[in-house]
Amino acid sequence: MMHNYGGIGMVIGHEITHSFDDQGAQYDKVGNVTDWWTKYDYEKFKARPQQVIDQYNSFTVLDSVHVKGALTVGENTADIAGIAIAYDAFKLTEQGKDTLKLDGFTPDQRFFISMARIWRVKTTDQFLRMYVNTNPHSPAKWRVNGPLMNFTPFYTAFDVKEGDKMYKPESERIVVW
Ligand SMILES: [Zn+2]
């Protein structure tokens, strides 16, 4: 049951935050294109997608192929925000507040394992090349590693330290919402 927070919970969080991604943010609550933001908020908000674009551009998919940061920014923003929303919801549950290990894993570790598990996929290199050039989502591996390398509770859960492959200093971890 609790695994669902890391799985479908993350997906639900992802979909909700599309209302506030680079495109969704341009619509008001009834669906009209309206600038409803304060100038201050919107300027702050616009800086976040740029951080996401720059970071995802640095992810190597195959030899010289990188994630296309600009093409995937809306989906990546929703992935980063979605895991945070799902985690907040999970922490409101009894198991989320507990530390009881099951199969050797803490509740937080199981939450993240479940998140990674829903994106398992096997593809050919040819498919991946085509996907990266045409799909507004990042490849599955980066839909997991991208959000998690920005999410401090993941570091805590697995004791991720400087020198580990997914480590980013706290100042470089992107928080969207
Ligand atoms: Zn999406």
The per-residue pLDDT of the chain, averaged, comes to 93
Of 21, 22, 75, 79, the active-site residue reads 79
Q: Which stretches of 8-154 are assigned E, i.e. beta strand?
A: 60-62, 65-66
Is residue 15 part of the annotated active site? The answer reads yes
> Are residues 2 and 90 in contact, defined by beta-carbon separation less than 8 angstroms?
yes
Is residue 43 part of the annotated active site? The answer reads no
Verdict on whether the full-model pTM lies above 0.85? yes
The alpha carbon of 98 and the centre of ligand 1 are apart by a number of angstroms equal to 31
pLDDT of amino acid 59: 97
Q: List, as ranges, residues with CB under 5 A of the ion ligand 1.
A: 75, 78
Q: Give phi and psi for 33, each to the nearest 5.
A: -70, 110
The alpha carbon of 14 and the centre of ligand 1 are apart by a number of angstroms equal to 6
Of 15, 41, 43, 125, the active-site residue reads 15
Instruction: Return d(Cα 107, Cα 113) in angstroms, integer.
Output: 10
**Domains detected in the chain:** 3-172 (3.40.390.10)
pLDDT of amino acid 19: 87
Is residue 38 scored above 90 in pLDDT?
yes
> Are residues 23 and 74 in contact, defined by beta-carbon separation less than 8 angstroms?
yes
27 has which bridge partners? 33
76 Cβ contact list (under 8 Å, min separation 6): 52, 56, 69, 138, 146, 147
pLDDT (tens digit per residue) in 70-107: 999 999 999 999 999 999 999 999 999 999 999 999 99
The alpha carbon of 55 and the centre of ligand 1 are apart by a number of angstroms equal to 18
Number of neighbours of residue 137 by Cβ within 10 angstroms: 17
Is residue 1 scored above 90 in pLDDT?
no
pLDDT (tens digit per residue) in 124-141: 999 999 999 999 999 999
